[in-house]
Structure 1
Amino acid sequence: MKKVIITTFAALMLFACQNEQSDSANADASVASRRGCATQEVLEAQLKADPTLAIRMNEIETFTAQHTGSNFTGRLVNGKIEIPVVVNVLYRTAAQNISDAQIQSQIDVLNKDFNALNSDYNNVPALFAGVKANIGITFVLDQVIRKSTTKTSWGTNDAMKKTAQGGIAPTSPTTKLNMWSCAIGGGILGYAQFPGGSSATDGVVIDSRYFGLSGSANAPFNLGRTATHEVGHWMNLRHIWGDATCGSDLVADTPTHNTANYGVPAYPHYSTCSGTPVEMTMNYMDYVDDAAMYMFSTGQKNRIAAIFTTGGARASFAQP
């Protein structure tokens, strides 16, 4: 009788494991149809774990308010801040082991989007033409680090950044932008750490299916704009709707949005917030599809400049 029970139990366990593996495979194969960014949720978890983070971020906001409109200072290459990028690739499948070409395509997109060289930049409506901005920051691929893993998904608890949890620790995070390409799971395309957080977890995480232009990149998020959005967070930009109904993104020249926009909104898309402004749905910090986002604003540029100026939260990236 005991043998029968054990055999039955083993069969049930095998069935359960097969189902779990099947579910993991299906989850890994599914492609997001709507943009999902976990930056705000990660921030809230970090604030809960480290009460001093709120103090540091408040100090950064005070500094930003005092230095909005500052010019970039420190180390400039051809008149621009040049940021070295380390790409950490964690892969379980061949598709997740994204190629050097796919990685370079992402760097190319960042350079276009942050320098107003994107081909759709001139699609900005006349209403916002006066505030569309060239951020003036360039990115250079510094290093690619690859590591094989058995994990089907990494989640958003920064495990991919920790060697002890099977991830890859950031390289020189006070002078180099670290990006992780991996399977995040949960419908999340990516997330970033705002200035003020620990250097041990600083950087940007992008699911390999939405990294760059080629290879494993999947529509409608195959134009590299997930990284543009997340690097925007890393440079202290908030979601354009302020992560609240009619919230504030701490930028004066972006209209007040009801909430996130998805897909490819028809223009003009009116907010029902005070004044019913036309929403800037094409801003990189909204949630629209890659093809529907193609601008930063002058106010966002000024906010970014403040963190790189002397005394700013990321001034070390602009030093000789």
Structure 2
Amino acid sequence: MKKMLLSVSVLFFMFSCQKDDTTDVQSETGAVTAGRYCASHEVLERQLKENPGLAQKMAEIEDFTNNAIASGRIVNGKMEIPVVVNVLYKTASENISLAQIQSQIDVLNKDFNALNSDYNTPNNPYSAVRANVGINFVLDQVIRKSTTKTSWGTNDAMKKTSGGGMAAVSPTTKLNLWVCTIGGGILGYAQFPGGSSSTDGVVIDSRYFGNTGTATYPFNLGRTATHEIGHWMNLRHIWGDATCGNDQVSDTPVHNTANYGVPAVGHRSTCSGTPLEMYMNYMDYTDDRGMYMFSNGQKARMDAVFAVGGSRASFR
């Protein structure tokens, strides 16, 4: 189960050699529109192509993360992260209510503090490595803007006033969430640490935000935001975005690929050693009701980005 962490040089190579056929994210969504689809990895690939220096910067973040975990230089205690919610709407249903927005904040506070009602789900084979991340989220402000756009895609247009969107508010000290219709079957996407501050944050489709109002089954429990904020805090998809890939976490098993729906208890990978998959992890693609935990190794990665010298230390 334990996986070797990649060196900086190997990580740089991995970032520099991504496939070239993913510039049009929506063209890849046909096979997964019935299930969860997060475009964070594809957006990262686009940003790596646009910014030649980003791979090196992210490799340095990875090196810092590994050293912080190894040396214990991680943040202790409870953090509070102020959240700015930017709502872009054309229809009344897209202009989600304050109650729906607050429901998402409440879900995040439960999921990141092991207070979610499904945290103690019976028969969880990974209960020994469940993590209480210990981060609180506080709603700082809600900003609303009417638009004529029917969908926004994944090119960050919603984050730019020039594209009809809304600029990030204090992105080095506040987590910005953009709520809008993304299109292409995409539930949300996040920017990993290391990207431009002007586009930093998370985008979530209004139909999968919070657990009330327009929140739509089977993604109606607010777990899309939990998943995407995991990316924002430097977590990869649990299958490492490759067949039997590496998510850089020591206590998560190797997965074949993403899981959809709610896998049966005991679902195993066909990767080497046929490990039991951690399909209940927030960084998989299961339905909202099927995911309910982060691991201790994931917590360590998240803590590292907020450590002194870390890529999100300004949030401390």
Same fold, TM-score > 0.5, yes or no? yes
Shift of residue 121 of structure 1? 0.2
SS of match in other structure, 2:137: strand
**Cα separation, 2, equivalents of 1:167 and 1:137:** 29
**Cα separation, 1, equivalents of 2:124 and 2:225:** 26
**Cα separation, 2, equivalents of 1:71 and 1:127:** 27
Shift of residue 71 of structure 1? 3.4
2:182 is aligned with what amino acid?
I
1:1-320 mapped onto 2 (5 Å cutoff) = 33-68=34-69, 69-72=72-75, 79-123=77-121, 125-318=123-316
1:313 is aligned with what amino acid?
S
**Contact kept in structure 1, 2:239 and 2:247, CA below 8 Å:** yes
SS of match in other structure, 2:254: coil
Per-residue CA deviation, residues 176-220 of structure 1 (Å, 9 max, x unaligned), is: 000000000000000000000000000000000000011111000
Larger CA deviation: 124-133 vs 141-150:
124-133
**Cα separation, 2, equivalents of 1:44 and 1:200:** 18
Instruction: Indicate the structure with greater helix content.
Output: 1
Shift of residue 124 of structure 1? 6.0
Q: Percent same amino acid at aligned positions?
A: 74
**Cα separation, 1, equivalents of 2:101 and 2:124:** 34
Give the 3 Å change call, closer, same or farther, for CA 144–251 of structure 1 in structure 2: same
**Cα separation, 1, equivalents of 2:224 and 2:122:** 19
Shift of residue 254 of structure 1? 0.3
Gap regions ≥5 residues in structure 1: 1-30, 74-78
Shift of residue 134 of structure 1? 0.3
**Cα separation, 1, equivalents of 2:214 and 2:73:** 39
Q: CA RMSD in A?
A: 1.1
**TM-score when scaled to structure 2?**
0.88
Shift of residue 127 of structure 1? 2.5
**Contact kept in structure 2, 1:33 and 1:220, CA below 8 Å:** no
**Cα separation, 2, equivalents of 1:240 and 1:46:** 21
**Cα separation, 2, equivalents of 1:145 and 1:32:** 29
Shift of residue 53 of structure 1? 0.5
**Cα separation, 1, equivalents of 2:307 and 2:123:** 31
Shift of residue 130 of structure 1? 1.1
**Cα separation, 1, equivalents of 2:33 and 2:122:** 26
**Cα separation, 1, equivalents of 2:191 and 2:122:** 28
SS of match in other structure, 1:121: coil
- Larger Rg computed on CA atoms: 1
Per-residue CA deviation, residues 21-48 of structure 1 (Å, 9 max, x unaligned), is: xxxxxxxxxx953001000000000000
SS of match in other structure, 2:87: strand
**Contact kept in structure 2, 1:87 and 1:143, CA below 8 Å:** yes
**Cα separation, 2, equivalents of 1:181 and 1:70:** 34
Larger CA deviation: 156-165 vs 120-129:
120-129
**Cα separation, 2, equivalents of 1:314 and 1:176:** 10
Shift of residue 131 of structure 1? 0.5
Give the 3 Å change call, closer, same or farther, for CA 158–124 of structure 1 in structure 2: farther
**Contact kept in structure 1, 2:151 and 2:183, CA below 8 Å:** yes
Shift of residue 129 of structure 1? 1.3
Structure 1 runs, 4 residues or longer, greater than 6 Å off: none
Instruction: Tell me which residue corresponds to 2:4.
Output: none
Shift of residue 126 of structure 1? 4.7
Per-residue CA deviation, residues 124-149 of structure 1 (Å, 9 max, x unaligned), is: 64531110000000000000000000
**Cα separation, 1, equivalents of 2:134 and 2:48:** 31
**TM-score when scaled to structure 1?**
0.87
Q: How many residues align?
A: 283
**Contact kept in structure 1, 2:211 and 2:222, CA below 8 Å:** yes
**Cα separation, 1, equivalents of 2:124 and 2:262:** 18
